[in-house]
Amino acid sequence: MSKAYGIIAAFDDTREIFQACEQVRDAGYTQWDALTPFPIHGLDRAMGLRRSKVPRLSLIGGIAGFCTGMALIWWTGAADFRLIVGGKPYFSPMFAFPISYELSILFTAFATILGMFFLNRLPMHYHPVLKQPQFARATSDRFFIVIEATDPKFDAARTRALLVQAGGKDIVEIEG
């Protein structure tokens, strides 16, 4: 017998999953997730999740791109290949702006994508929840809460009782 990954419970509609998430959050669980067929406005707040760090990484990428563009134009015009063309200065931010703008967009896109992959621990080629036969309905009409066995408050009997009290159906222990 393999080690348990956690417990999964099914819910029929958005109201039920929303209330169940609040109950699980209020019970003090930290290692759990809600799986829904579509985004539910406010569910992250009901789960007690903080804002994502991806926007900060995107901002850092954008600033790095802008600074890289300015430094590139300064280096090529004022340091590496000093050439006066038409009386223009060696470096002017006005002439460096188009390159800096494009590099800001490029670096922001890379930082966003790489940050999302890193923070979500992707690619994840296997997840124990995907082996559950009932989980196939998570893409169409069913809502699920999965509480992981790694949670400090996890106790199979008490966790199952909490999910029953929250209105969970088809409660199953997931093998890891």
Q: Contact 76/138 with Cβ under 8 angstroms? A: no
Angle between helices 54-74 and 93-119 (to 10 degrees): 150
Q: Contact 5/174 with Cβ under 8 angstroms? A: yes
The string of pLDDT tens digits covering residues 82-110 is: 888 888 888 889 989 999 999 999 999 99
Q: What pLDDT, on the 0 to 100 scale, is given for residue 124?
A: 85
CA distance 93 to 116: 32
pTM for this prediction: 0.78
What residue spans define the domains of the chain? 4-51+126-175, 54-119
Q: Contact 53/62 with Cβ under 8 angstroms? A: no
Q: What pLDDT, on the 0 to 100 scale, is given for residue 2?
A: 65
Q: Please state the rounded mean pLDDT for residues 65-87.
A: 91
CA distance 47 to 143: 14
The string of pLDDT tens digits covering residues 115-161 is: 999 999 899 888 899 888 888 888 888 999 999 999 999 999 999 99
